[in-house]
Each structure stands twice: as C-alpha cells, then as structure tokens.
C-alpha cells in the first residue's frame, strides 16, 4: 500500500531539478520564410534522487505539455516533445505537430516551457502524484530566418556539370 505524506507540494520538490532539456531545430539554427522549421526537444521522463522531508526519496518528472514561444509574437502548446523529420518518417520542410512557419526574415529567439507532472516515492515504494505542474524554461536559442529562392538547373545537383545553383 502506498501512503501519501500529507502536504507534499511542488515547493517541497523544488530542489529536485529535472535534467536540462535542449531545443533542437531542423534545419539546424535557421529557417526559410514560408517553409516549416521543425522544432523539437529531447525532454523525457526522468527520476532524480535526493532528500524529501528529511528522508531519502526519488522524484519523477514526466513532461506533459510543451509551450513553444516562436520569438515572433506567437506560441503553440502541444502534448509531445516532437521528433526529427527522419524519426517521423517525413520529408524535410514538411509540417509537424511542433513546426512553425515564419512570415518574415530576421533572427528569432525560440524558447520552450515544459510542464512536468511530478510524483515521489520513498524506499522504492509506489509513486505518489503531487498536485500541480512544474514549469521549466528551456532556451532561448536563435533561429536565423532567411529568404529562399528557387533556381532551375539543367540536371540533378551532384551530377557532373549540373549547372548554376548547385554546390
């Protein structure tokens, strides 16, 4: 039987800090006006050891929502951390649940707030949910938003003598 300790709150577990998560973007650090930039994070459930109310304990942090501040006056809240286009089985520059499309060029500071649902346990016992969510700020990181243009070439890039516009 799991017995909850009366009065354990978010303030009691404030010294238990989830590992820093990172903001990832595809393309890495830049975007094209009018095309989706894929934003995602490596935040995952985690367990942190420490002392709670004078006893050795573990606190589990489960990320339950992700609020992306896109740095252009808009934000989006989603339930999952997102993933790379490859992990999603999608082509580059396609929309994802966590992607964003910028309308103008410039540098944007993208930040993320992860809402963690915490629970605790003593002596390897059952997990006891703590009411409320613990918001954790990640970032910001800078995304350079650029204007793209299309160039027609006489062959596939990578072929010999493919033409102007190929690297």
Domain ranges of the chain: 11-146
C-alpha to C-alpha distance for 69 and 140, rounded to whole angstroms: 9
Q: Which residue has the tokens 């006056």?
A: 73
Which stretches of the chain drop beneath a pLDDT of 70? 1-6, 151, 153-156, 158-167
Q: Where are the alpha helices (DSSP H) in 10-123?
A: 85-88
- Report the top-level CATH class of 11-146: mainly beta
The residues, any chain, with a CB within 8 Å of residue 47's CB and separated by 6 or more, are 58, 59, 60, 61
Per-residue pLDDT, 8 = 82
Its pTM stands at 0.82
C-alpha to C-alpha distance for 143 and 27, rounded to whole angstroms: 9
The residues, any chain, with a CB within 8 Å of residue 97's CB and separated by 6 or more, are 78, 80, 82
Per-residue pLDDT, 53 = 87
C-alpha to C-alpha distance for 154 and 160, rounded to whole angstroms: 11
Per-residue pLDDT, 1 = 45
Q: Rounded to an integer, what is the distance from CA 30 to the centroid of its chain?
A: 16
Torsion sign, CA atoms 87, 141, 98, 134 = positive
């Amino acid at each position: 039987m799991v017995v909850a300790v009366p009065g354990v709150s978010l303030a009691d577990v404030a010294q238990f800090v989830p590992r820093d998560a990172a903001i990832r973007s595809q393309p890495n650090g830049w975007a094209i006006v009018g095309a989706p930039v894929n934003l995602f994070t490596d935040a995952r459930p985690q367990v942190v050891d420490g002392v709670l109310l004078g006893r050795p304990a573990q606190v589990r942090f489960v990320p339950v929502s992700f609020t992306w501040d896109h740095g252009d006056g808009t934000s989006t809240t989603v339930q999952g951390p997102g993933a790379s286009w490859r992990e999603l089985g999608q082509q580059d520059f396609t929309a994802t649940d966590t992607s964003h499309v910028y309308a103008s060029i410039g540098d944007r500071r993208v930040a993320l707030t992860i809402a963690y649902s915490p629970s605790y346990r003593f002596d390897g016992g059952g997990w006891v949910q703590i009411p409320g969510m613990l918001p954790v700020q990640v970032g910001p990181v800078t995304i350079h938003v650029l204007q793209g243009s299309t160039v027609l070439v006489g062959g596939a890039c990578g072929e010999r003598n493919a033409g102007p516009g190929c690297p």
